Amino acid sequence: MSTLGNSTNIFWHECPVGNHERQKLLNQKGCVVWITGLSGSGKSTLACSLGRELHSRGKLSYILDGDNLRHGLNKDLGFKAEDRIENIRRVGEVAKLFADAGLICVASLISPYRKDRDACRAMLPDDNFIEVFMNMPLELCEKRDAKGLYKLARAGKIKGFTGIDDPYEPPLNCEIEIRQKDGVCPAPCAMAGQVVSYLGRERIPAISMIYTPSIHVL
């Protein structure tokens, strides 16, 4: 037990079962796969598909969906600037806990600002934050409009909607970019395969066992 300099009267408790022990138990290395992109770009679709792919390989993952968390942990937050920042900060903090617990934590939220995403990246050790950019054209996302939100935004019924009257800042150095090929969107399992392949090939050597040649088709 030790005192941390900048927080009076709060102590840090070290426990003998640490993340290495949990990783060994799970036979995988915890990390955060952070999926960012416009509404309708396929973030949730990728998250679900990735969850299935990992599960089928015996890997434990958990999805933190930005929308879902707004019904629980972040239900006190709205959509004004400071609330959106706090929303992302909390998801980042929780993702960090899940990664520490040994899980492959898949965070799926628009997270439009580079600064906020980078703040989440900075919470984690090197190589444990894998940023996946759903690089889909606004026109496509708006055409899909599965939630009908673009329509509302265009009609002025939602203010500050990312891509319409609020900016989306694309990542500058993301680990993975998902985009159309010859004007065609990759299928969900192909998008997931791209992430699984990355996890097996790069930076997460401890889970290299999740890489199998059968999925290395991308």
Closest to a copy of itself by CB, 75 or 181: 75
Closest to a copy of itself by CB, 13 or 115: 13
Indicate whether 77 belongs to the interface with a copy of itself (CB under 8 A).
Answer: no
Q: Is 214 a catalytic residue?
A: no
List residues bridging with 106 in a β-sheet: 33, 63
CB of 11 to a copy of itself, least distance (A): 5
**Selected binder of a copy of itself within 31, 38, 46, 94 (CB under 8 A):** 94
- Could you tell me the sign of the dihedral formed by the alpha carbons of 175, 187, 135, 67, in that order? negative
Closest to a copy of itself by CB, 107 or 185: 107
CB of 79 to a copy of itself, least distance (A): 8
Query: How many other C-beta atoms lie within 10 A of the C-beta of residue 103?
Result: 22
Closest to a copy of itself by CB, 41 or 183: 41
Query: In the structure encoding, which two tokens stand for residue 194, read together?
Result: 């791209």
Site string (151-170) toward a copy of itself, x via CB under 8 A: -x-----x------------
Set 41, 49, 111, 197: catalytic member: 111
**Selected binder of a copy of itself within 20, 80, 143, 147 (CB under 8 A):** 147
The footprint of a copy of itself (CB under 8 A) covers 1, 4, 7, 9-13, 15-17, 21-22, 25-26, 44, 47-48, 51-52, 55, 58, 60-65, 67-68, 70-73, 76, 86, 90, 93-94, 96-98, 100-103, 123, 146-147, 149, 152, 158
Which sequence positions are flagged as catalytic?
111
